[in-house]
Amino acid sequence: MSTSLLVVLLIGVVAWLGASLGLASLFGVFLPYVAVIIFIAGVVWRMVYWSKSPVPFAIPTTGGQQASLEWIKQASLDNPSTKWGVVKRMFLEVFFFRSLFRNTYAEVREDGPRIVYFSSKWLWCFALLFHYCFLLVFIRHFRFFIDPVPACITFIEAVDGVLQIGAPRLYLTGVLLLTALLFLLGRRLFNERLRYLSLMNDYFPLLLIIALVLSGMSLRYFIKTDIASVKAFTMGLVTFQPVGAEVTKNIGSLFFVHLTYLSVLLMYFPFSKLMHAPGVFFSPTRNLPNNTRAVHHENPWNDRNAPFTTYAEYEDTFRDVMVEAGLPVEKQPDAGDKE
């Protein structure tokens, strides 16, 4: 974790110094454009690569009774056998993290020894909280890129700041987002087994998003910046007409630190575990129905003209060796063959 924390802090320091030294165009214009290009190209490349990857086996994740006899009730959500069933399972997975909700945590106790299973509902709760709060914060930020601001975004802002705590009003999604991130980070730090398994690519995105949230909250509540200049700056970016130095000097260095964290996150996204967001739609464990008893799954790697050996032919060739090894065979060797 220390390496990831050092890298995240170094990114912030470099952006702060660069903006203070008059390099706002580098961290506020050039870097965001490069980040968006890398993000789009990287995501498209990964999705095309996944879509072209062959699926040699039907390996859908199952969690219940497979479709079999009519009088045996099928678990249609956890073990779908139709495309419509897969759509329903995918909907629950994407929007409600159903598999994480059903997940359990196992621990080996010394008294016995014995295995004790615990619920992972807290992980499910904070993971769901993080993703939906991040989505709402992302949507709220569209007010900086659209003029005039749509009524739907204004409505989200009003609901988000309904408590009217302080001035400016406190947005609940920001506080809940930071709380969820700290829980996910603390889980990796204080769970001994998980800490042993965690690598830099587990800590770095967490710390990077925490830094992004903290810098954004600091801009809103503590180190105030000129919102009108920020709006003019962001509108210049989306219209490909970057503003001049007379606007950027009114913004402050912390804004460019915030923007740099966002740019690094965009560039890091396509090449990290964060790609599970679009990747879930390409996973054969999720997008395949479990209908292997009714439908033959064709292996795209198979050469249709290649010679195949049936199991009966294989057993005829190696029957004696299999019997000597104690392996079960469908046909026992003849007495003449044994002699």
| Residues above pLDDT 70, as percent of the chain | 96
> Which has the closest alpha carbon to 178: 211, 201, 135, 154?
211
CB 219 within 8 A of CB 258: yes
CATH architecture designation of domain 2-308? Up-down Bundle (1.20)
Q: Distance of CA 249 to CAs 30, 197, 229, 256, 318, Å? A: 17, 45, 9, 11, 81
Mind listing the pLDDT tens digit for each residue in 196-225? Answer: 888 888 899 999 999 999 999 998 888 878
Q: What is the pLDDT of residue 165?
A: 67
Q: What is the pLDDT of residue 336?
A: 52
User: Half-sphere exposure of residue 216, counting CA atoms within 13 Å on the CB side?
Assistant: 22
Dihedral of the alpha carbons of 150, 155, 156, 159, in degrees to the nearest 10: 170
Residue 85's region, left for phi above 0, alpha for psi from -120 to 50, else beta, is alpha
Q: What is the pLDDT of residue 41?
A: 96
Residue ranges matching CATH 1.20.950.20 in the chain: 2-308
Rounded to two decimals, the pTM is 0.84
pLDDT band at 25 (very low <50, low <70, confident <90, very high): confident
Q: What is the pLDDT of residue 32?
A: 92
Q: Indicate whether 15 pLDDT > 80.
A: yes
Residue 260's region, left for phi above 0, alpha for psi from -120 to 50, else beta, is alpha
> Which has the closest alpha carbon to 252: 214, 212, 224, 221?
224
Mind listing the pLDDT tens digit for each residue in 321-339? Answer: 888 888 888 888 776 554 4
Mind listing the pLDDT tens digit for each residue in 141-166? Answer: 988 888 888 888 888 888 888 777 66
Q: Quick one: average pLDDT of 223-251?
A: 82
Q: Which residues of 55-75 are buried (b: 16+ CB within 10 A; e: fewer)?
A: beebebeeeeebbeeeeeebe
